[in-house]
Structure 1
């Protein structure tokens, strides 16, 4: 697929293209910042739960980049949908597993002393 001008993409209303680009660029920037914060948190805690959340944040960056690539014609729409929905499922599984790993109970002192 060839690189295209996002203002010439047929599936986007030309009046909404600037808004779409702004939203996707902000999503890329925001998810990248969150991913970097996740990497720092994981490097400090070194626990499985922090790793799972950091991976989920990395998948959000990937998802945003795929959206940007689609607007510029670098990612076909079919691949876009496969990646985006696959990433959605992966993020849900990672977050639910991280919650599952946190274990039962509401004892606050356990969470303050537990490294995992």
Structure 2
């Protein structure tokens, strides 16, 4: 029989977690769309790297929903979540590196 949430969640916890996941997904999706717009406007590799990082944050939220709903097993959840944490940090740091030193202000 299909369960609405994973076995490791109960009533109130499940409701709170699903609300938080919903808000996180909406927030990261909005940021991702802003990133896409910025990349389309600027077209630089730095904007692309940051947009990909924002896209990974959206994917994390989707995996979180999958785990809460019992679709994604907890070990897979941890591999994807921590792997994407590393990837996001790497992309942001590389974007900072690619942006170069600050130009002198006049």
TM-score (norm 1): 0.84
**Aligned equivalent of 2:36:** 39
| Structure 2: stretches of 5+ with no match in the other structure | none
Q: Distance in 2 between matches of 1:93 and 1:78?
A: 23
**Aligned equivalent of 1:65:** 62
CA RMSD in angstroms, aligned pairs only: 1.6
Q: Does 1:97 align with 2:94?
A: yes
Q: How many residues align?
A: 106
TM-score (norm 2): 0.92
Larger-Rg structure: 1
Contact 1:3 1:74 in 2 (8 A): no
Q: Distance in 2 between matches of 1:12 and 1:80?
A: 15
